[in-house]
Amino acid sequence: MKRLSVCICVLSTSFLAGCAGAVPGTPGATSGPLKVVATFYPLAEFSRAVGNGYVDVTTITPAGAEPHDYEPTAQDIGRVQSAAVFLANGGGVDTWADKADTGNARVLRVQNFLPLDTATGTANESPLDPHVWLDPVLAQTIVTHIRDALTAADPAHVADYEKNATAYTHELQALDTAYKTGLATCGIKSIISSHNAFHYMAKRYGFQLISISGLSPDSEPSAKELAATADTARTNNIRYIFFETLVSPKLAQTIAKEVGADTLVLNPLEGLTSEDIRAGKNYLSIMRENLHNLRTAMQCQ
């Protein structure tokens, strides 16, 4: 509700008087909103939550696009260079950002403060696994670092960044609790997903992850690998094969058909689709949908 009320204030000038102090650019504020640029969705979403009202966040990977193979335009690089804070993940999900000229932007790279695990599975393009944002506990660490980066770039609003980061951290803690309790007692302890994005989540909540393709969603498994995955599905009595929203469900459907299973969405949150945005979905709501589908697939009580 707090975020909604701030949006209304920004959009409606008639409310400005009643919202003095909450709107950047009003007397007392040091300048306009802080320009924040993120390589892809989850970092942008966390920045909006922490910077609520004081930041202008741009996401480089467009809605509906998948970040692993996104190539930035010259305009994208210009946006990075003119940002006050630039957020990247590292580990292969935004490889272009490893070497980009970031100009005078203050750079926060998740890989530099969260040690990434070695990638598992086949056909990896990166030796490390970048998908830390899918663990609600590691996400809290990211939020803390974003708070510190925004504060360093804009110390005038330290109290707001502090307050917003604390509130969002409480949401992430509630999400972690929901996962812990929701996945505590399940008939099946493994899942099959289309790309290998869920290692950190699986490690946190104690289930086994079998991926059809590799760490990048566009890496193609061989016919032999597909047959092996189908065998694994049969052996583990798996009734649902997961696919995701930003890539073709073809592989998941092939395996599901092969073993007589159904398909369900497990969203790696690497980006929202335009449909997601219209429906008002976000990191927290999609993570809840993911939990619901995991509980279905793993037959949890």
Which residue ranges make up the site for Zn ion (CB under 5 A)?
A: 197
Q: Shortest Cβ distance from residue 242 to Zn ion (Å)? A: 13
Q: Smaller CB distance to Zn ion: residue 50 or 60?
A: 60
Measured torsion, CA atoms of residues 257, 259, 263, 268, in degrees rounded to the nearest 10: -120
Q: Smaller CB distance to Zn ion: residue 85 or 246?
A: 246
Q: Smaller CB distance to Zn ion: residue 69 or 262?
A: 69
Q: Smaller CB distance to Zn ion: residue 22 or 197?
A: 197
Cα dist from 263 to 132, 186, 241, 269, whole Å: 24, 18, 5, 18
Q: Listing from the earlier edge strand, what are the strands of the sheet with 55-59?
A: 55-59, 34-38, 85-88, 106-109
Asked if residues 41 and 22 have their Cβ atoms less than 8 Å apart, the reply is no
> What is the SS3 assignment for 234?
helix
Phi, psi for 211 (deg, rounded to 5) = -110, 145
Q: Shortest Cβ distance from residue 207 to Zn ion (Å)? A: 18
Q: Smaller CB distance to Zn ion: residue 197 or 298?
A: 197
Alpha helices, H only, 53-157: 74-81, 96-99, 136-153
List of residues 6+ apart from 245 with CB closer than 8 A: 265, 267, 273, 276
- How crowded is residue 193: how many other Cβ atoms within 10 Å of its Cβ? 23
Q: Shortest Cβ distance from residue 196 to Zn ion (Å)? A: 8
Q: Shortest Cβ distance from residue 217 to Zn ion (Å)? A: 6
- Which token pair is 99? 């070497």
Phi, psi for 215 (deg, rounded to 5) = -75, -25
Q: Shortest Cβ distance from residue 195 to Zn ion (Å)? A: 6
List of residues 6+ apart from 227 with CB closer than 8 A: none
Q: Smaller CB distance to Zn ion: residue 41 or 86?
A: 41
Q: Shortest Cβ distance from residue 68 to Zn ion (Å)? A: 5
Which residue is nearest to Zn ion, using beta carbons?
A: 197
Q: Smaller CB distance to Zn ion: residue 126 or 169?
A: 126
Q: Whose CA is closest to 153, among 141, 164, 145?
A: 145
